[in-house]
Structures are given as C-alpha cells and as structure tokens.
Amino acid sequence: MLRIPGDKCVYSMNRHNPAVAETIPGTQVVFETKDCFSNRVTSEQDLYARGAWSGINPATGPLRVTGAHPGDVLVVDILDIRVAARGAMIAVPGIGALGHHITHNQTKIVPIEEDHALFNEKLRLPVRPMIGVIGTAPADGDVPTGTPGDHGGNMDTKLIARGTTLYLPVFVDGANLAMGDLHALMADGEVIICGVEVPGEVTVRVDLVAGKSIPSPILETEDGFYCLASAKTLDEAAAMAMDHTMSFLRRRLPLSVNDLAMLMSLVCDLQISQVVDPLRTVRMAVPKRTFEPYGLRF
C-alpha cells in the first residue's frame, strides 16, 4: 500500500505543485497528515496570533493519478480516518463567526480517549473524525489550502468522513490530490474557525470516472448525495448548490424541470458546512430513498 508522509505537503493547491507520488486508479493510499497548525501547537501556552496564516492547513501530497485528465472525475473512497491521542482548539478575538464575543486569546488542548474528546471534567464528546481539506489542483491560479472552491480544498464539511465517497472534478492531468486538516470533532458551521484539530492518517482508495465532468465536489454517503458549493456569501453558495443539484438530477432522472424543482423543495435539504473560511460552503442533500424507484446513481 502506498503511504505518503505528512512532511510531503503543500500550503496551496495549483497545477505546478510537483507530485510527491503517483498511483494508478483502484489503489489504496495512506495520507499521513499534520494538524491545521502544522503540529506547532503543543501546549496551552502556544497562542495563535491574529493574522498568522503562514503554515496553516498543510495538505499532504499532491498525489498524481495515472490517466486522470481534465473533464474526468476523481473518485475518493474514504476507508478509514485515524486521529492522534489529543487535539487542539483556539479562541481568538475578532476571528471566526463568534470572534466578536471572544475577549482573550486561548488555546485548549483536548485529550482523546476511547473515541471521546475530553472537553473538560464533565463533558466527554463522541468523536466523529473528518477531513477539513481535500481537493485536486484548480484549473488556474494558486488557491491557499485554507480556501475552498470548485476543486474542493478547505470545505470543512463534516460528512467527509469514514465511509463517504467524494467525487472531485479533475482540472489538470494527474488530478494532483492532496488532503489534511483533520478534525476529531466539528459541527456544521465551524463557527469559531476550528474543530478539535488533530494530526492523523487517512486511508483512501482512488479511482477515476472518465469524461463525466462535474462543476464542483459531490459527496455520497449510505443515505444520499450532497452537492457542494463555495462562494463569498452564503446566499451565493446556496444558489450554486441548488443549481448543481438540479443539473445532477436532470442528467440522471427522466423527470421534467418543474417536477425536479418541486421534489427539491420537498426533500432536498440545504445545509451549511462552514461560515468562517474566505469562502462559505453550502451543500444540498439528495436523499437516496426518495429516488430509489428511479435507481439513482452517480
């Protein structure tokens, strides 16, 4: 099994990052990852400075996938996520959606024992490990790993977890897959700009669907599909997610636009992934059970 160490990482996603490894479709790969602080926060005396964005959100990779070309879809089956025995959180005045409430800079070290995050002496919270940053190289430009987009990136979507299949657009030859920024636990919104930030390792299987382009990432879980979109505002991201969902359904179901729109209004929930990154991320859920009579598939 191919293993990529955490020191092989990038802090932005672009077509010019040299691949640190290459594999063929169908291969299992282990990505070792640093936490979002590049493993530099080791005690509660390590305080995060406002504006200290260098060294944030390292993404292990990129991995080149043989045969991937623009217009293809990279399929990433998330087989396992293992996190370290402790994580870190921060609260910083003026940062995040709740930053106006924060009066002093604080770092909290959160031990993780028996699949629980020990927030304090009374609160043991069940962990739900997920991937904050995962994506391919964008078609153009240099996108920091702290920013989401059509290529994926810092989507901070809690459903990107063990058992999920993530479909990513391929914009460059080889795709250039990279990932990092694991959380042992994080709620929708990520309102204080962090979850329980942890190093760890992710085991995935990478595959390809040729010539079936998608405009932005799509998640598949046991229960449904989720079309993701990121934009400057929640309103813009929501509109994009709805448009992408309509396109997804129109290509797969023999129903009129009117019927699809009605069904989306009945059963397809709009959900917020995060509101604290440079772009906001929204997803729209498509429940498999509703469309089972049509055999809905990716």
CB-based contact 105:93 (threshold 8 Å)? yes
Superfamily of domain 218-294: Acetamidase/Formamidase-like domains (3.10.28.20)
249-287 pLDDT, tens digit per residue, is: 999 999 999 999 999 999 999 999 999 999 999 999 999
Q: Is the dihedral of CA 222, 218, 234, 156 positive or negative?
A: positive
pLDDT at 52: 60
Instruction: Please state whether beta strands 59-65 and 21-23 pair in parallel, antiparallel, or not at all (unpaired).
Output: parallel
169-207 pLDDT, tens digit per residue, is: 999 999 999 999 999 999 999 999 999 999 999 999 999
134-165 pLDDT, tens digit per residue, is: 999 999 999 999 999 999 999 999 999 999 99
pTM greater than 0.85 (yes/no): yes
Distance CA 26, CA 10 (A): 24
